Amino acid sequence: MKINFILSVFAIGMIIMSCTNQSAKKQTADASKSGYYTEPYRPQIHFSPEAHWTNDPNGLVFSNGNYHLFYQYYPDSSVWGPMHWGHAVSKDLIHWKHLPIALYPDSLGCIFSGSAVVDANNTSGLGKDGKGPLVAMFTYHDFVGAKAGTNTFQNQAIAYSNDDGMTWTKYDHNPVVKNPGIRDFRDPKVCWHEPTKKWILTLATLNTITFFSSPDLKNWTKESEFGEGVGQHGAAWECPDLFKLKVEGTDLEKWVLLVSINPGGPNGGSATQYFVGEFDGKVFHNESPSPAPRWMDYGKDNYAGVSWSGIPAADGHRLLIGWMSNWQYANKVPTTVWRGAMTLPRELKLKKLESGEIVLSGYPTAEFENYGSKWETLQSEKSSNTYSLGAADAFDYSVELDLGTASQANIQLANSKNEVFEIVLDKAKQQVRINRNHSGETSFSPNFPVDIVAPAQIDEKVSLRLVIDQASVELFLNEGLLEMTNIVFPGEIYNEVNIKSEQEIKITESKVRKLASIWR
Ligand code: FRU
């Protein structure tokens, strides 16, 4: 629906022009420019492109010390349009270096979302000088076919790089997975399956996931389809991911399947659900206890998140980054030079609850923990439980509460313009509620200032972490058992925390880390 709507806004001629005019589209950093990354609402500790539109992260692959981040990018405007893959790299998952656009549209279509892998054994034969290439798999979206009403306008293709991801060559026999007549047939995520010694492609196919296998990344065989009757439906499934993770504190390993859906999220619009189970190289066996959806993040602004491939198994970390927006208003948020940013990279973990249920958690990475100044314990202003965070480009704030018999606590982030971002920890209802109705600029969409609610296990002792940037608040309850990511557009960053309850509560610890911009 979204794509059709947006499509109608663009004339085909303009698309073709954009697909062929590759000259001036460079996206490279020049941090020496004065005023660099200082525009209103510019994220200071999150990735955003220097200019123009971004949505999903793509092609996340770790290779030779570089975390590659490709991303859906439209270099001609700050609204969605014919997609390219923008490109940035990071050595520490904190600082990003902008690189030239990696993949441009061509006669087969524009470049929709996808993934990348290190083909270390050169199974594809596309390597050079005895060295395996990086291989990216993406969806060609053919606007002309879509406009003509065909059902076969999305097809999967590959490109390869023999200079460690710096430049890419499209394979000359694309597409490698042809559309059998499914309108939504996209967002390939590839992983290596060691027991069967095959590549596995996890693909969003209308409202299911289809798994394919391949010995060489070029020839693919359909294995199975998953999704009927489980999880959230009612709209296209998008941007899947499949990976194995250890269950924390056990020797057990389980497979996790992430599936984004838009609309249909728990608080409206876009969101990502997950399934936990087994994968045998052919079929995903869901072990989630009920057919009801389980959401990775209950905020409104963490979509299309996928994880990095290529991180050595011995390291074991599974790191994800998501697009920090929501299709309900992504094209209207009040930024001008650029539109769209990514979440903080997060480490995913599987945790076993007391009930025996295995759930997915996400928390800022160890690298983030080591970035910025040390934690400072805060003293509240006389009996008011108001804490000043001081001055910084961004803040990492953490509070430990003992709610005792109190049924709820209210935590407000505020600035000197009386803009507030409100969080209610409701022990009685076992909920976290967020209200950003007075958080700053909200008038661009009626879907922005709405109640944001998450079911949550809230005991007497609560630990809450809030990563506050110029235009976002990422909430982590109890070490990431609940994640809520929300964007905001305040006139200045929130630098005050106000904690209230109608009953008696204890604040056992309130501390902050001041974070400097990653861009200067
Ligand atoms: C998800 C998505 C993908 C698609 C891309 C297009 O946000 O709709 O399914 O590949 O965005 O930009």
- Residues 137/168, Cβ–Cβ less than 8 Å: no
- Candidate from 113, 141, 185, 237 with most ligand 1 atoms within 8 A of CB, to mutate: 113
Share of residues in the chain with pLDDT > 70 (%): 93
Q: 126 C-alpha to center of ligand 1: Å?
A: 27
Select from 240, 238, 236 the least CA-distant residue to 207: 236
Q: For 282-286, what is the mean pLDDT? A: 98
Spatial separation of the C-alpha atoms in residues 368 and 92, rounded to whole Å: 9
3-state SS string over 372-432?
A: CCCCEECCCECCCCEEECCCCCEEEEEEEEECCCCCEEEEEEECCCCCEEEEEEECCCCEE
User: Atom 9 (ligand 1): residue with closest C-alpha?
Assistant: 238
Atom of ligand 1 nearest to the CA of 83: 12
Select from 276, 123, 286 the least CA-distant residue to 194: 123
Q: 128 C-alpha to center of ligand 1: Å?
A: 32
- Residues 411/498, Cβ–Cβ less than 8 Å: yes
304 lines ligand 1 (CB under 6 A): yes
Q: Is 216 a catalytic residue?
A: no
486 lines ligand 1 (CB under 6 A): no
In this structure, CATH architecture of domain 9-21+52-363: 5 Propeller (2.115)
Select from 460, 453, 60 the least CA-distant residue to 271: 453
Q: Which of 56, 142, 184, 393 is catalytic?
A: 56
Q: 112 C-alpha to center of ligand 1: Å?
A: 6
72 lines ligand 1 (CB under 6 A): yes
124-174 pLDDT, tens digit each: 999 999 999 999 999 999 999 999 999 999 999 999 999 999 999 999 999
Q: For 107-131, what is the mean pLDDT? A: 98
Residue 319 has pLDDT above 70, yes or no: yes
Share of residues in the chain with pLDDT > 90 (%): 90
For the domain 372-515, what is the CATH code?
A: 2.60.120.560
111 lines ligand 1 (CB under 6 A): no
- One-letter identity of residue 322: G
pLDDT for position 19: 40
3-state SS string over 477-508?
A: ECCCCEEEEEECCCCCCCCEEEEECCCCCEEE
286 lines ligand 1 (CB under 6 A): no
Q: For 271-276, what is the mean pLDDT? A: 98
Atom of ligand 1 nearest to the CA of 3: 8
Residue 21 has pLDDT above 90, yes or no: no
User: Atom 8 (ligand 1): residue with closest C-alpha?
Assistant: 238
- Residues 272/305, Cβ–Cβ less than 8 Å: yes
pLDDT for position 316: 86
271, β-bridge pairs: 261
- Residues 219/237, Cβ–Cβ less than 8 Å: no
Select from 371, 370, 350 the least CA-distant residue to 361: 350
Q: For 70-77, what is the mean pLDDT? A: 98
Q: 341 C-alpha to center of ligand 1: Å?
A: 15
pLDDT for position 376: 97
Residue spans of alpha helices (H) in 52-157: 143-147
Residue 146 zone, left/alpha/beta (φ > 0; ψ -120 to 50; rest)? alpha
Q: Name the band, by pLDDT with cuts 50, 70 and 90, for residue 384.
A: confident
Q: 256 C-alpha to center of ligand 1: Å?
A: 21
Q: CA-based angle 398:48:422, to the nearest 5?
A: 35
Select from 106, 146, 104 the least CA-distant residue to 4: 146
477 lines ligand 1 (CB under 6 A): no
Atom of ligand 1 nearest to the CA of 239: 9
Q: What are phi and psi of 127, to 5 degrees?
A: -80, -175
Residue 299 has pLDDT above 70, yes or no: yes
Every domain of the chain and the residues it spans: 9-21+52-363, 372-515
183 lines ligand 1 (CB under 6 A): no
Torsion sign, CA atoms 202, 204, 207, 212: negative
User: Atom 6 (ligand 1): residue with closest C-alpha?
Assistant: 112
Q: Name the band, by pLDDT with cuts 50, 70 and 90, for residue 8.
A: very low
For residue 37, what are the contacts with CB-CB under 8 A and spacing of at least 6? 44, 50, 517, 519, 520
Q: What is the pTM of this model?
A: 0.94
**How many angstroms from the chain centroid is the CA of residue 462?**
26
112 lines ligand 1 (CB under 6 A): yes
Q: For 232-236, what is the mean pLDDT? A: 97
For residue 39, what are the contacts with CB-CB under 8 A and spacing of at least 6? 335, 336, 337
Is pLDDT larger for residue 32 or for residue 43? 43
184 lines ligand 1 (CB under 6 A): no
Spatial separation of the C-alpha atoms in residues 106 and 112, rounded to whole Å: 12
Least confident of 28-42, 82-96, 222-236: 28-42
Q: Are strands 338-339 and 52-63 parallel, antiparallel or unpaired?
A: parallel
Spatial separation of the C-alpha atoms in residues 116 and 221, rounded to whole Å: 19
Select from 303, 348, 367, 357 the least CA-distant residue to 480: 348
